[in-house]
Structure formats: C-alpha cells, structure tokens
Amino acid sequence: MSIFFQTRNKALQAQLAASGLDGLLVTQLANWYYLTGFTGESGALVVGADERPTLVTDGRFTVQARQETSGVRVAVQKGGLLESVGQKLKEQRFRIVGFDPQHVSVAQMRALRKAAGPRVRCVPAAGLVESLRMKKDTSELVQMRSAALLASELEAHAAKFLRPGLREFEVAAEIEYKMRKAGASGPAFETIVASGPRAALPHARPTARRLRKNELVVLDLGAILGHYCSDITRTFYLGRAPARIRGWYRAVQEAQAAAVAAVKPGASCGEVDAAARNVLASQRLDKYFVHSTGHGLGIEVHEDPRVAKGQTRKLEPGNVVTIEPGVYFEGVGGIRIEDDVVVHAGRTEVLTRFTRDLIEI
Amino acid sequence: MSIFFQTRNKALQAQLAASGLDGLLVTQLANWYYLTGFTGESGALVVGADERPTLVTDGRFTVQARQETSGVRVAVQKGGLLESVGQKLKEQRFRIVGFDPQHVSVAQMRALRKAAGPRVRCVPAAGLVESLRMKKDTSELVQMRSAALLASELEAHAAKFLRPGLREFEVAAEIEYKMRKAGASGPAFETIVASGPRAALPHARPTARRLRKNELVVLDLGAILGHYCSDITRTFYLGRAPARIRGWYRAVQEAQAAAVAAVKPGASCGEVDAAARNVLASQRLDKYFVHSTGHGLGIEVHEDPRVAKGQTRKLEPGNVVTIEPGVYFEGVGGIRIEDDVVVHAGRTEVLTRFTRDLIEI
C-alpha cells in the first residue's frame, strides 16, 4: 500500500477507535477509491483495526481489484454483495460496524444483517471518510491542479469558437470532445451552456437553442482527470455589452474576488459566503444571487465543505472549494464567475487560470 | 396528462389494487419519468387510487416539473425529500404504501416513517413500474428506433475513421462528439473501445492504448436520444483477418443470428440465451462466451427482462432486448456482435442496422 493510502487508512482507524467502532463498511466508489485506489464500479470495503482492509467485489472486477490495490484483501463476492460482506463480518468477528445510512439501501441492510448474524451490530456512522477527504494531500493536489488547468484551457478554447448560430448542445459537445482528447475520463458534470434568457437558470441543461448576437452565455464546465474533478465558470457576451450588463458583471467580479480573498484557514464557510453576498447587497443585487457561494471539490464534484450561508465549519489547509457567486434575471440572462481554490497555511492557491473579466466576442 | 401517461398510470393503479396497496412511492428518475414525463434529477412521486399523482421536488425543479407534466400535483419539498413525502402520505391518509427497498436508503426510510406517522404502513414492493416498462408502447418505440439508428450510424462512421495509431479514448471521444452533435443528450454508457488483447475484456474502459495493425477492435456504444437508450456492438479488424479469427467471427455471427431468430412472443429468455450458446457449443467455443446473451433496453440501458441462462420469463410483444453474444480469448482479443430487437406479435424488428459481417479496415 502506498504511503498515501496508508496514511488515509490510519487516519480512518483513529476515527473508528474514537467512535467506538471496530469496523466501518464503505459502500461508495469515491470512498473506496480514496482508501484503496480501486476504481471498479461495484464492491464494498470493510476497514477494521487490522492493517489490511477487505474489498469484496464480483467476478467482473476481481482481476482489476488485484491490479489496482496493494495491502488489501480482495474477496470474490458469492451471492449478493451485502450477503458476502455480512459473511466476512461474521468470519472476521466484527462486533460493532458503522455504515452510512444514506448509502445503504433498505434491501442491502436486510441482506447484511441476515448474513452477519446476531453477534455483529451495525450502527449508523455517516461521513467518516468524507471528513478525511476534505483535507487533500499532496498527491491529490497534483491531480487537481492538472484537472483545473485543463478546464481553464477549455474556457480559453471557448473564447475562440463561440459565435452566434451555434447550438448550445454543439458547444457542450465540442468542450467535452476536447476534454476527452486531452485524456479526461469524462466531464465532472453535464456541461452547462446557457445562452440568452436561459442563462437565468443556474442549472440549465444544453438545448438546441442557437447562440445569438447581443446575448450572455454562461459556460460552466469541469473535467475528471486522474480521478479528480475540476469546475469552472466564465460568462461571455456575444457583442459589445451594454452598460447595465457591465455593471452587473463588475458586481459579480468584485463579489467573487472578495470571497476568494476571504478563503483562509480559520475562516468559517459562512463568512466566505457572506463576503460575496455583502458585495452584491451593497449594490442591491443580493436577491438575484439565488444559490450558495461554493462547494468542496475532489474525487466528487460536490463534496464537503459547503460554502453557504450560516455554515460554521472552519476552513483548514488542504480544503479545496469552488467560489462561484452569480446573479440571475428572469427573461434577461445571468452572470457567474467560478474558480477552484485551495486553502494553504500561509496563502490561497487559485487552481483555475483564465481571465475573470467579461469576455466579449 | 397525455394518453400514454394516463394508460401507464392506470396500469399501475390496477397493479396496486391487486397487491393490496393504496399507494406506491416512486423514488427513481426512470420510473417517475415513465409515469409523468418529469426529467428533474431530484424528487419522489406518490401514486394512489386518485387520478392525479403527487410529485414532490425541491425549489430548483418545481418550475420545470410544472412545465413538463400535466395532471400531476407538484408539491414543493420542505425540509428533507422523504420528510416531505411522509407528510404528504399522512395528509392524504394513505394506509399501505409500497416502496422499492433497493432504491430507498436506510436514512430515507427512517425520515419517511417519522414524518408519515404510525397510521401509514410502508411495505416493500419492488419492480412494479419496471414490469410495466418492459412492454414498450408506440410512443416509446418511435424514440427507440431513432436512438438505434443513430447508434448504427456511429458504427458506420467508425468504419470510416478507425485506423492504426488512434488511441482508444480518442475513438470514444469522436463517437460521443458525433452523438452529441446529432442531438443525443449523451452516451447511454461509457463507450467501449477495446483493442488488441484488451478486446478480451467485455467491460473494458477506453485507455491511451493506440490501435495497431492486425488487431481486433470491439466498439460497443449507445446513445440516449429523446430519453431512450440504444446499444450496439460491432467488431473490426485492422487489416486482413487470419483464418482463425474469421472462424471465431463466423461462429459468433451464427450464434447471434440464431438468438435473434429465437426472439418471439412466448419464447423464454433462457431459450433465447440457449440458442446463442448452443451454436457456440457446437464449435467448442461456449466456454469463451463469459456473459449473458442480452438485456432489456429502454429508459435505462439495463432493464428487465434479462436474456440469460435459465431465465424462465417469457417474451411478450413490446419487449425490447439486446442480443449480444461474444467470445473472449485472454491475451488475444475478443469478438462481439450486438443488436437491439423488438418483440412483435407476428414478427421481430431489429432496430440497429449496420452490416453484421466482420469489418476489415
């Protein structure tokens, strides 16, 4: 097991001991990848006090599991997945095993309890691995820098090819094509290309609508590269933007810069959110900012910590968050600027690198 | 509510009555889309004896829900999703409500039971909507024909651009780009481009490996078009195939034709599987056929019925299944041929249309 996986497993074992658990059942791909490097789509990991966790997976993935991991016991699933896991818990004499109730189905829990027998107690224990994942190590930051640079290059590429007449889904197809050609395993989420009045919808899916002259286009994209996600948004104007739009844009730009400046160890997530919101409020635009300022980013595109109103969690070195305030005007359009930001002890590192000015085309 | 949605809801209500349920909780996108047309990513649908089902979703999706549905009560989620659903069940005085234990988490069930109170009984009831979805109506078949033709065109396109030197992921990127440009919302699954010895892995993910002269390439792809999936596989040879490979190919081709011919109302899925397997067995190749013959296809890329060994379920008009036998030789490569097939009363309709001969490039 590499030093990074060893460190992560040890940190988890310390958490288990502190929670009075002698084992943890890990049922999500992002979490077992983080702990072992296994990328198969089906399986479950059991972490105990023992140095070698047990990975149960089916015949389709066992060769892959052995290739991708080391220091892990790979067990071949017999019958249902949770049935096999329950048998392992029984054989290995676990007594109190945590599971994440949001990621285990009612049917899985029934199969698990039946196979594990009455001597194994399964108790809810949510978010243990997720809390470790918030603090990225150097191997993770290397991947995240590459993923963020790729996303930045795609915004720069868009600045060259966006033009009136293109359909929104053609723009998304072009972006995702370049992404894949650059080695990304895929987009981190469905690319958002929201033009004209559709730019007023923060979560718009690309449609057959054609881009038009004198309209805003919000382009929100991210790549999965080396198993880590990036997430960037830039806003374009097809033509020369009128004063009203420039004014809104400047307000969002100032709000975004204020929130990025507020990112530092010890600052609460709510304070970072407020930094953006207050700038918009000073220009009476806060009511058009209808979502949170940002979210954690890593193996998944939405992770802890949430950068939202009232969040008291304090930022720590190693956290990676998006900072993405925006304003949305029904029937008119929207503006959003988003970067990926790493918290370090003495400084803030912005991973995404492309102009934050309004891009007029 | 359109006539198709009405028919589906009535059929479901008949099933509820037969199962002694006065309501069903629908927690999967594919199922609520089938019953209402709502494409939002978060929500839950409650179907009762009443004509109008209740769709609970959060603020991000309520405008969309009202636009996409008719004859449906759209309720805005307050607090957690299942908490809101529980309150609706209580208000509407449901007594025995079915849920799918594979698609409700332990945490959701706890929230649901707490909010619904002691007068509502929640009982496991899996697969009710899925069993209706097996039988496609004419509106669904229209979409599936288009999705299958698009997939067929992409195989034809590949026959033109595949060449030694291309990387597997570049091929996948090109295919998915064309797919999106043609209006697909995305691939139905991660496109499989398995070249050389990697073609021996039925579920290979595209890598940076370059295609080489005198090797097999298995290209398995599908598009989501108008919310329905297609799924096709063709096998290419970069060069002139040697006699051994031609022999294997012919065997798979015969096996596939035999299974397609076996698809008819009243035939069991196991019989269709056996039709392919027996042809391969007659040439001592059955042990290299390491997966099932096929699966149902529709809103999801893997649905009921499963076309596998021993499956006793009988095919009915309206079923759509893939027929995809293959042979895999470790260290050498693999061959698979896959089509999408509709069961009709008097005939079989093959939706995918491109040569089934070995494509030498």
Query: Which residues, in sequence order, are bridge partners of residue B210?
Result: B167
pLDDT recorded at residue A245: 97
Residues counted in chain A? 361
| B44-48 vs B23-26, strand pairing mode | antiparallel
B146-166 burial code (b ≥16 CB/10 A, e <16)? bbbbbbbbbbeebbeebeeeb
What is the 3-class SS of A224-245, one letter each residue?
Answer: EECCEECCEEEEEECCCCCHHH
Which of B99, B172, B177 is opposite residue A173, by nearest beta carbon? B177
Q: How confident is the model at residue B332 (pLDDT cuts 50, 70, 90)?
A: very high
pTM attached to this predicted model: 0.90
Q: Which of B113, B133, B153 corresponds to the end of one domain?
A: B133
What's at B142, amino acid-wise?
Answer: V
pLDDT of B62 strictly over 90? no
Note whether A169 and A128 are same-domain residues.
no
What integer pLDDT is reported at residue A201 of this predicted model? 87
CB distance A315 to A245 below 8 Å = no
Report which DSSP code applies to B198.
G
Is residue A330 located within the same domain as residue A222? yes
Average pLDDT of span B123-145 = 97
Report the pLDDT value the prediction gives residue A50, as an integer from 0 to 100.
80
Residues B10 and B118 both lie in one domain: yes
Report d(CA B173, CA A97) in Å as an integer: 43
The B228-229 sheet, strands edge to edge: B186-187, B223-225, B228-229
What's the mean pLDDT in B59-87?
92
Instruction: Give tens-digit pLDDT for B4-36.
Output: 999 999 999 999 999 999 999 999 999 999 999
Question: If you search the block for the tokens 């497993």, which residue do you land on?
Answer: A9
**Span B132-161, average pLDDT:** 98
> Residue A141 corresponds to which tokens in the numbers above?
């930051």
- Is the pLDDT reported for residue B202 higher than 90? no
**B177 neighbourhood in chain A, CB within 8 Å:** 173-174, 176-177, 180
Does A159 share its domain with A39? no
The residue among A133, A154, A183 that closes a domain is A133
Ordered strands of the A320-323 beta sheet: A303-307, A294-296, A320-323, A339-343, A348-350
SS3 for A48? strand
User: B237-251: per-residue pLDDT in tens?
Assistant: 999 999 999 999 999
> Which residues of chain A register pLDDT less than 50?
none
**Residue B143 belongs to what H/E stretch?**
helix B138-161
A14 in contact with B at a CB cutoff of 8 Å?
A: no
Clarify whether residues B183 and B63 are in a common domain: no
Which residues of chain B from 43 to 82 reach within 8 Å of chain A, CB to CB?
Answer: 60
Same domain, A125 and A155: no
Same domain, A96 and A150: no
CB–CB of A172 and B185 under 8 A? no
Measure B172 CA to nearest chain A CA, in Å: 8
The two structure tokens encoding residue A135: 């603090």
Q: How many domains does chain B have?
A: 2
Helix (H, G, I), strand (E, B) or coil at A9: helix
Whether pLDDT at B1 is above 90: no
**CATH code (residue B89):** 3.40.350.10
Q: Is the dihedral of CA A273, A279, A282, A286 positive or negative?
A: negative
Pick from B145, B231, B141: nearest CA to B188? B231
CATH code, B323: 3.90.230.10
Residues A129 and A178 in one domain: no
What's the pLDDT tens digit per position in B284-318? 999 999 999 999 999 999 999 999 999 999 999 99
- Residues in chain A closer than 8 A to B122 (CB atoms): none
Mark whether B86 and B192 lie in a shared domain.
no
**DSSP state, B204?**
P
d(CA B317, CA B303): 16
A349 & A249 share domain: yes
> Are B104 and A106 a contacting pair at CB < 8 A?
yes
On whether both B217 and B76 belong to a single domain, the answer is no
Phi-psi category of residue A40: left, alpha or beta, with phi > 0 → left and psi -120 to 50 → alpha: beta
Q: Is B183 on the interface with A (CB under 8 A)?
A: yes
Task: Give Cα separations from A24 to A95, A127, A291, B155 (angstroms).
Answer: 11, 11, 34, 45
Which of A81, A111, A133 is a domain's end point? A133
Q: Domain residues for A39?
A: 3-133
Give B169→chain A minimum CA distance, Å. Answer: 7
Residues of chain A with Cβ-Cβ distance to B124 below 8 Å are: 106-107
Return the pLDDT at A293: 98
Q: Are strands B223-225 and B228-229 parallel, antiparallel or unpaired?
A: antiparallel
Q: Does B59 share its domain with B202?
A: no
In 10 A of CB B228, how many CB atoms?
A: 25
Give the helix ranges, DSSP H, for chain A: 3-18, 29-36, 62-68, 81-91, 106-116, 128-133, 138-161, 168-181, 243-262, 269-282
